Amino acid sequence: MILSCSNIDKTFVDNHVIKNASFHIEDYEKAAIVGINGTGKSTLLKMITGSLTADSGLVTFAKGKNWGYLAQHQAVDSENTIFDELLTVKQEVLELEASMRQTEADMKNTSGDELESLLKKYAALTHRFEDINGYAYKSEITGILKGLGFDEEDFTKKVATLSGGQKTRVALGKLLLQKPDLIMLDEPTNHLDLNSIAWLETYLLNYKGAVIIVSHDRYFLDKIATKIIEIDNGVVSSFHGNYSDYAVQKEHLRTEQMNAYLNQQREIKHQEEVIDKLRQFNREKSIKRAESREKMLNKIERLEKPVEVKADMKLTLTPHKTSGNDVMQIQGLSKSFDNQQLFENVSFEIKRGEHVAIIGDNGTGKTTLLKIINEVIAPDSGTIRLGANVEIGYYDQEHHVLHMEKTLFEEISDDYPYLTNTEIRNTLAAFLFTGEDVFKKISSLSGGERGRVSLAKLMLSEANFLILDEPTNHLDITSKEILETALNAYEGTVLYVSHDRYFINKTASRILELTHQEFVNYIGNYDYYLEKKDLLTPVSDAPAAQTAEPSAQKLDWKQQKESQALARKKENDLKKCEARIEALESKGNALDEEMAKPENATNVSRLQELAKEKEKVEAELEELYAKWEELSE
């Protein structure tokens, strides 16, 4: 065991955040802390690291074990370059290397006992240098920086010039290089693109130490976690397995708790009815029995009704009217910034009812595309044509659609003046803004709260074409699940940018990957994308290299659907063929047995009849064997 937390308790004013929590982390265990926003996940990590003092309880690390911690926001201010900043972690390696070079120089000018002494020193230095992987430290740093999404040309950038997200990635790189016995990470995937997240997953899976992660990235938690530590209304509970295992266990536990509560309520009601009836008899014995039952009823430890967390926020997305079948057609779209080409001559279309996810590395132009569609910025070339009756609802990750100077109430009432005060308050209450909250200014809200206001406006828009830019950013897992349910029930069309692979898996019917300035089309969710990534080709109509059959290399979404339908038909035909072969082989065996019977062996006419039937079976089998071979190709 590397970490033990015993009876940890923390209260802020009147908010009892952590209630008498106890859990432990074993060597090499990968644990995740989950819970809705504001439950105290980061608080718990800070108490473990000692940066925040618990009101009571004990945090104990195993003797001789060290730990490293990455907070959500890192103030890494340094005049070092990115590479040199990571190099500071390798101070021992650098000092050893300097000592080795100096010892090599000294050995050239000495002899005898002094040389013998230097040789021993040099042997000890090189042995230690090998132990700490000194010969590979530069490639190790390069590998981590590239894995975290930095290109080699970024290595020489000054840390002081980086964005907050880039500084957090530098801090994460330094922590991974330190290789502590226990790594603690608070939302490590927030500033990573899909490739970097996949790299970090592999790194942590193979990490020779323990890991504690706070994250809302369920796909990430499914890959990494072997234990889930849940904070629910201050109560801390442990579950074995990854996030999906936890979700099943949690639902089962919630069902059991609800059943126990309902059974107790039924029993209480039954006892109260019996007590009332006994009192109505108005006999001495019956009254005494009623009093006795009442005493027993009062001694029962009443179960609290389990809170249904998903019932708090209510999101229903309903189009005001139905759009035409052709929702949007993009032809020859191009965009560049400062001589950097984001995408060129891109063409694709979106049909009614599709849920299309745009994925790709950071900086490739995904958000730019959405802004072009919404006429926030202009393209360099190309056209965008919307279909009949298409009404767009836009969710902007930077919340430019919100007015920072307005209150929540004004934000809704100004955009939807036909709503009554009660309707506005009810709408905001559905997104957890009640009482005086409605008079808060948008500028004072957190990222998650602004996201909820944007979702409220999206719901009120009654649009039939939703365009969403990172809609799950700042949302906790429960809020993400509510949004997923709403989108899956939505009858309109959806186009969104997201790094949330679990969300994509749940809601996308099609994926467009922006890579090498082109869009590659995948008809399916994220798991399908991973499976088919190397097989499908760009949907862009940009000129390709001269080939004999260019159309065969650039399948549009209709052709892909037809191709997949054909593959499914072949699979069904193969199964039918195998079933028919099995039936005919059984029939052939039965005919052989019939012909072998003594009564048939001497009956020429019966024998000829059986032989003809067997001949037909054999002929059909020959055809089926050939067909099976063809279908199996």
- Structure confidence by residue, pLDDT tens digits, 256-293: 988 999 999 999 998 898 888 888 867 787 788 889 88
- Using pLDDT thresholds of 50, 70 and 90, give the confidence band for residue 541: very low
Q: Where are the beta strands (DSSP E) in 199-354?
A: 210-214, 227-232, 235-240, 326-337, 340-351
- Using pLDDT thresholds of 50, 70 and 90, give the confidence band for residue 551: very low
pLDDT at 330: 93
CB neighbours of 260 closer than 8 A, spacing ≥ 6? 303
Residue 141 near residue 176, CB atoms below 8 Å: no
- Using pLDDT thresholds of 50, 70 and 90, give the confidence band for residue 560: low
- Structure confidence by residue, pLDDT tens digits, 320-363: 899 999 999 999 999 998 888 898 899 999 999 999 999 988 87
Determine the Cα angle at 337 with ends 351 and 514, to 5°: 35
Residues 67-78 have a mean pLDDT of 79
Q: Which residue has the tokens 């509510």?
A: 482
Q: How far apart are CA 59 and CA 23, in angstroms?
A: 10
pLDDT at 437: 87
Q: How far apart are CA 496 and CA 494, in angstroms?
A: 6
Q: HSE (CB half, 13 Å, CA atoms) of 290?
A: 16
Question: Which DSSP helix (H) or strand (E) runs through 32?
Answer: strand 30-34
- Structure confidence by residue, pLDDT tens digits, 120-161: 888 899 898 888 888 888 889 999 999 998 888 889 999 888
Residues 209-231 have a mean pLDDT of 92
> 524: closest CA among 545, 505, 509?
509
For helices 447-461 and 421-430, angle between their N-to-C axes, nearest 10 degrees: 130
H and E: helices and strands count for the chain = 21, 18
- Other Cβ atoms less than 10 A from the Cβ of 633: the count is 5
347: exposed, middle or buried (C-beta count within 10 Å: 0-12, 13-18, 19+)?
A: middle
Q: Identify the bridge partners of residue 386 per DSSP, sorted by sequence position.
A: 328
Quick one: DSSP state of residue 538? Answer: B
**In the chain, where are the structural domains located?**
255-307, 326-554, 562-631
Residues 172-184 have a mean pLDDT of 92
Strand, helix or coil at 111? coil
Residues 439-456 have a mean pLDDT of 85
Residues 199-225 have a mean pLDDT of 92
Q: How far apart are CA 500 and CA 193, in angstroms?
A: 10
Select, from the ranges 9-23, 267-281, 562-576, the one with the highest average predicted confidence (pLDDT). Answer: 9-23
Query: DSSP assignment of 354-401, as one string?
Result: -EEEEE--TTSSHHHHHHHHTTSS--SEEEEEE-TT--EEEE-TT-TT
Q: Give the strand pairing for 465-469 and 493-497.
A: parallel
Q: How far apart are CA 373 and CA 220, in angstroms?
A: 31
Q: In what order do the strands lie in the sheet with 30-34?
A: 67-70, 182-186, 210-214, 30-34, 227-232, 235-240
Strand, helix or coil at 587? helix
Residues 494-522 have a mean pLDDT of 91
Residue 239 near residue 227, CB atoms below 8 Å: yes
Average pLDDT value for the chain: 85
Structure tokens at 309: 């967390």
Which amino acid, one-letter code, is at 62? Answer: A
Residue 580 near residue 623, CB atoms below 8 Å: no
Q: Where are the beta strands (DSSP E) in 163-268?
A: 182-186, 210-214, 227-232, 235-240
pLDDT at 312: 61
pLDDT at 108: 85
Query: DSSP assignment of 457-493, as one string?
Result: HHHHHT-SEEEEESTTTT--HHHHHHHHHHHHH--SE
> 484: closest CA among 463, 505, 513?
505
Cα–Cα distances (Å) from 65 to 46, 62, 208, 472, 581, in that order, read: 18, 6, 13, 37, 65
More reliable by pLDDT, 142 or 610: 142
Select, from the ranges 90-99, 103-112, 221-230, 587-596, the one with the highest average predicted confidence (pLDDT). Answer: 221-230
Of the listed ranges 437-446, 453-462, 560-569, the one predicted with least confidence: 560-569
Structure tokens at 145: 């920086």
Residue 137 near residue 112, CB atoms below 8 Å: no
Q: How far apart are CA 411 and CA 210, in angstroms?
A: 46
> 472: closest CA among 217, 213, 194?
217
CATH topology of domain 326-554: Rossmann fold (3.40.50)
pLDDT at 546 over 50: no
Q: Is the pTM of this model over 0.85?
A: no
- Structure confidence by residue, pLDDT tens digits, 82-97: 999 999 988 888 888 8
CB neighbours of 204 closer than 8 A, spacing ≥ 6? 30, 183, 211, 213, 224
pLDDT at 247 over 60: yes
pLDDT at 311: 53
- Using pLDDT thresholds of 50, 70 and 90, give the confidence band for residue 630: low
pLDDT > 90 in the chain, percent: 35
> 170: closest CA among 182, 180, 158?
158
